[in-house]
C-alpha cells in the first residue's frame, strides 16, 4: 500500500490529508488480520503478558476495538469497503456469539463471567450502530439475535462506578436503533446519564468517578459517548445539554497539545495515544467546538503523525503497549495487547464527508504555537503553561487525583506529580520521582504526595495542600510566566531538621532533548544535583532529573525554587528568570525577567486535610 503524497499547501504543518487517515486505518486493520482466530471471533494479538482479565477477554478486546476502527473507516466512506473489512467482522460476530462462554477458539466470554466484556460491548455496539446499513441489516436473523442476546447484559448497572456507566449507554443506543428491548434500553440510557451527571463539575470538566480524577478520559469517554449518542440518535435535547459542555472542554483540551502533535501524558490509559483527538473531531462533527476546521485537522493529524513517526507500531504494524515504543511501566494491569486499539476513537473525523471544511480548509496553528499561555483548567486544579517559541506544553497539577493515589503501591505517577509535559517523563519507581517535593526519611526514602486538595487558582498560578506524613501538612503553589516556574512549598509541623528534596523535569540526553533547569531560591542549599532516573515513556534511559535539598527549621518552613523546561537552544539559566524577595510574613514578591511582577501570599487559605 503506497503512502499518499503529502500536501504542504493544504496542510502546511503536517502534510497530511484525508487520504493519509484512510491509508493509516487500512494499514492498522490489515496488520491485525494474521492474528484472528480461524473464523474471526477473536483477535489475539501478541504481547508481553495478558491483561488481568485473561487471554480470551484480550481476544475479544482485539476484535472489538479494531472493529470500531473498521466501522469508522467504512462508515466514513459511506459503505465503500475495498479491503473487505466488514465481511471479516461480520463473520467474527457470528463465530463469537454462536456459543459464548465456551473455552473454544472462537467464543466470546460472557459479561457475567468477565466484566471487561462490558467495556468491549460498547465498541461492538458503536461499530454496529455506525455501519448498520452495511453490516447489521445484512446479517441473518439468527446471528442478529445471538449478538443482541450477548449485548443485553450491558444494560444492567455498571460494575465499576466511573466512566463505565457510558458503556451501557452506548449499547442501549444501538439496541434502541435496532428495535431490541427498546424500553429497557431507554431506561439504561437515562440511568447512565444520570449517574455521570453527578460527576460534572462545570466548565467542561467531569471527574471520572468520586475521586477528582481529571485526565484524558474527559475527552475520549466522558464527553465522547454522551455527545456521540445524542448525535447519532438525532436527539436535539440531549445535544443541547452535552454539546455546550464539549465546546467548553475543547477550549481547554486543545491547549494540551504540543506543536509536535503530542498530547500531555497525564492520568491513565495513555497507551490509547491519539484517541485524544476524538473529542476535537466530535466537536466539529456536531458543531459544538471553539476550533476552526483547519485547526481541528491540524491537531488531529499532528497527534496521529506524532505517534506513528516515533515508533508507536512495531515491525508487524501493530500498536504497542506504550507511548512511542513499548514502555511497560506505563501499562495498567487491565490492559492487554489489544488495548491500544482504543486509539481507533481518534479516527472519528472520517465520519465527516470528504468535502467538509475540516478536510478542505488549510491547517491552522495550535494555541501552543501562537502565543505563550498560562491558564487554569476549570475546577480541576490544573494549570496549563505553554510557550510559542518552542511549542512545548506543561501541565501543573494541584487537584487531579485518582482512587489509587497514596495507596499501598505508592503514588500513581500519572496523577501524583506536581507537573507533566509533552516532552518529558514521568519517571517510574524505583527511580526518584520527577516534579516532586518530598520529606526524606533517614534512609533516604521519599514521602509520597498522596491526594492533593486544591486551594486557590488564578490566571498564572495554582495551589494545593497535601499530607505527606501523619501530622505534617504541605501547602504548595506554582506560579508561571513564560517558560519560568516558581515552585513554593510551606511545610507545617514537620520535625526540626527534616530533610526535604525538590525535583525538576526528567530529560534524556541528546541534541533533541529539552533543557531542564532548577535553581534554589529559598530554604535549599546552593547545590543542584542530577539524579539518574531511568527510562520514561518518551524513550529509554538514561535520563537525569535535577534536584535541590534542604532541611526544615521550626514549625513553619518555606522552600522556593525556580524551574524551567524548554526546547529553546542555549536558554538563559533559571536564576536569570526572576528575582524573588521574601517578606518577614512569608509573602513572595516576584519580578520576572521581562519586568512583570507577581506576588504569592503565604500561606494560601484552604482545607487542611485531604
pLDDT tens for each residue of 479-511: 999 999 999 999 999 999 999 999 999 999 888
Question: Radius of gyration of the chain from Cα atoms?
Answer: 25
On whether the CB atoms of residues 267 and 217 are closer than 8 A, the answer is yes
Q: Average pLDDT for residues 244-265, to the nearest whole number? A: 98
- DSSP per position, 141-152: HHHHHHHHHHHG
Does 310 have pLDDT greater than 70?
A: yes
Q: What are the tens digits of pLDDT across the range 135-176?
A: 999 999 999 999 999 999 999 999 999 999 999 999 999 999
Rounded CA separation 214/207 (Å):
6
Q: In the predicted model, what is the mean pLDDT of residues 239-257?
A: 98
Of the pLDDT bands very low, low, confident and very high (cuts 50, 70, 90), residue 323 is very high
In 3D space, the residue among 447, 554, 557, 439 whose CA is nearest the CA of residue 496 turns out to be: 554
At residue 401, the pLDDT reads 87
Over residues 510-559, the pLDDT tens digits come to 888 999 999 999 999 999 999 999 999 999 989 999 999 999 999 999 99
Residue 385: its pLDDT value, please? 98
Q: Are the C-beta atoms of 111 and 121 separated by less than 8 Å?
A: yes
- Sequence-ordered list of residues with C-beta below 8 angstroms from that of 25, at least 6 positions apart, any chain: 69, 70, 72, 73, 347, 350
Q: What is the DSSP string of 464-477?
A: EEEEEETTEEEEEE
Q: Distance between CA 176 and CA 134 in Å, rounded?
A: 18
Q: Give the residue-averaged pLDDT of 302-309.
A: 98
pLDDT of residue 406 exceeding 60, the answer is no
Which pLDDT does position 511 carry in this prediction? 82
Residue 84 contacts by C-beta under 8 Å, 6 or more apart in sequence?
A: none
Q: Flag whether pLDDT at 605 surpasses 80.
A: no
* Region of residue 523 (left: phi > 0; alpha: psi -120 to 50; beta: else): left
The predicted-structure confidence for 336-385, as pLDDT tens digits, reads as follows 999 999 999 999 999 999 999 999 999 999 999 999 999 999 999 999 99
Answer yes or no: are the C-beta atoms of 476 and 488 closer than 8 Å: yes
Instruction: Give dist(CA 164, CA 293) in Å, integer.
Output: 31
**Given this model, what pLDDT does residue 610 score?**
38
| Residues 253 and 368 sit within 8 Å (Cβ to Cβ) | no
The answer to whether residue 405 scores a pLDDT higher than 60 is no
Residue 608 pLDDT greater than 60, yes or no: no
Q: Residue 554's CB: how many other CB atoms inside 10 A?
A: 9
Question: Which residues, in sequence order, are bridge partners of residue 544?
Answer: 507, 532
Q: What is the mean pLDDT of the chain?
A: 95
Q: How far apart are the first and last CA of the chain?
A: 55
Q: Is the pLDDT of residue 404 over 70?
A: no
Amino acid at each position: 500500500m503506497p503512502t499518499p503524497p503529502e500536501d504542504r499547501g493544504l496542510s502546511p504543518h503536517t502534510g497530511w490529508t484525508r487520504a493519509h487517515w484512510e491509508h493509516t486505518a487500512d494499514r492498522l486493520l490489515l496488520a491485525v488480520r494474521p492474528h484472528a482466530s480461524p473464523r474471526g471471533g477473536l483477535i489475539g494479538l501478541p504481547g508481553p503478558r495478558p491483561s488481568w482479565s485473561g487471554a480470551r477477554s484480550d481476544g475479544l478486546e482485539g476484535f472489538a476495538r479494531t472493529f470500531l476502527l473498521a466501522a469508522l473507516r467504512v462508515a466514513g466512506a459511506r459503505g465503500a469497503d475495498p479491503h473487505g473489512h466488514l465481511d471479516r467482522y461480520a463473520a467474527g460476530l457470528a463465530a463469537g456469539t454462536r456459543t459464548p462462554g465456551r473455552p473454544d477458539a472462537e467464543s466470546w466470554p460472557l459479561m457475567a463471567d468477565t466484566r471487561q466484556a462490558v467495556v468491549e460491548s460498547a465498541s461492538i455496539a458503536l461499530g454496529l450502530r455506525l455501519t448498520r446499513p452495511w453490516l447489521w441489516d445484512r446479517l441473518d436473523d439468527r446471528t442478529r439475535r445471538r449478538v443482541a442476546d450477548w449485548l443485553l447484559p450491558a444494560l444492567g448497572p455498571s460494575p465499576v462506578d466511573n466512566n463505565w456507566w457510558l458503556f451501557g449507554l452506548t449499547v442501549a443506543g444501538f439496541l434502541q436503533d435496532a428495535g431490541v428491548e427498546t424500553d429497557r434500553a431507554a431506561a439504561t440510557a437515562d440511568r447512565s446519564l444520570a449517574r455521570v451527571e453527578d460527576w460534572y463539575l462545570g466548565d467542561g470538566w467531569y471527574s471520572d468517578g468520586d475521586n477528582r480524577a481529571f485526565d484524558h478520559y474527559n475527552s475520549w469517554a466522558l464527553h465522547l459517548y454522551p455527545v456521540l449518542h445524542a448525535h447519532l440518535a438525532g436527539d436535539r435535547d440531549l445535544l443541547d445539554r452535552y454539546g455546550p459542555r464539549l465546546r467548553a472542554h475543547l477550549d481547554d483540551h486543545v491547549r494540551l497539545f504540543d506543536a509536535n502533535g503530542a498530547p500531555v501524558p497525564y492520568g491513565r490509559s495513555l497507551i490509547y495515544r491519539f484517541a485524544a483527538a476524538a473529542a476535537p473531531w466530535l466537536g466539529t462533527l456536531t458543531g459544538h467546538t471553539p476550533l476552526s476546521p483547519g485547526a481541528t485537522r491540524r491537531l488531529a493529524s499532528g497527534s496521529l503523525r506524532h505517534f506513528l513517526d516515533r515508533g508507536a507500531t512495531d515491525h508487524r504494524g501493530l500498536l504497542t503497549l506504550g507511548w512511542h515504543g513499548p514502555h511497560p511501566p506505563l501499562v495498567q494491569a487491565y490492559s492487554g495487547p489489544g488495548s491500544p486499539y482504543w486509539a481507533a476513537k481518534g479516527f472519528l473525523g472520517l465520519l465527516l464527508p470528504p468535502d467538509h471544511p475540516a478536510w478542505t480548509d488549510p491547517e491552522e496553528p495550535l494555541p501552543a504555537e501562537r502565543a505563550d499561555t498560562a491558564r487554569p483548567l476549570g475546577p480541576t486544579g490544573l494549570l496549563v503553561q505553554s510557550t510559542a517559541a518552542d511549542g512545548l506544553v506543561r501541565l501543573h497539577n494541584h487537584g487531579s487525583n485518582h482512587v489509587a493515589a497514596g495507596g499501598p503501591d505508592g503514588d500513581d505517577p500519572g496523577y501524583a506529580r506536581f507537573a507533566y509535559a509533552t516532552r518529558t517523563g514521568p519517571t517510574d519507581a524505583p527511580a526518584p520521582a520527577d516534579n516532586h517535593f518530598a520529606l526524606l526519611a533517614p534512609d533516604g526514602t521519599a514521602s509520597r504526595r498522596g491526594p492533593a486538595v486544591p486551594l486557590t487558582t488564578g490566571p498564572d498560578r495554582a495551589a494545593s495542600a497535601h499530607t505527606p506524613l501523619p501530622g505534617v501538612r504541605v501547602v504548595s503553589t506554582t506560579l508561571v510566566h513564560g517558560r519560568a516556574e516558581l515552585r513554593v512549598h510551606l511545610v507545617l509541623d514537620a520535625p526540626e531538621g527534616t530533610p526535604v528534596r525538590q525535583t525538576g523535569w526528567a530529560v534524556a540526553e541528546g541534541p533533541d532533548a529539552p533543557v531542564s533547569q532548577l535553581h534554589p531560591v529559598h530554604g535549599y542549599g546552593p547545590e543542584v544535583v542530577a539524579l539518574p532516573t531511568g527510562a520514561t515513556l518518551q524513550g529509554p534511559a538514561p535520563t537525569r532529573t535535577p534536584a535541590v535539598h534542604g532541611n526544615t527549621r521550626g514549625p513553619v518552613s518555606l522552600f522556593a525554587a525556580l524551574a524551567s523546561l524548554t526546547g529553546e537552544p542555549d536558554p538563559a539559566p533559571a536564576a536569570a528568570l526572576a528575582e524573588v524577595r521574601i517578606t518577614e510574613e512569608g509573602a513572595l514578591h516576584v519580578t520576572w525577567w521581562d519586568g512583570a511582577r507577581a506576588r504569592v501570599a503565604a500561606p494560601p487559605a484552604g482545607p487542611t486535610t485531604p
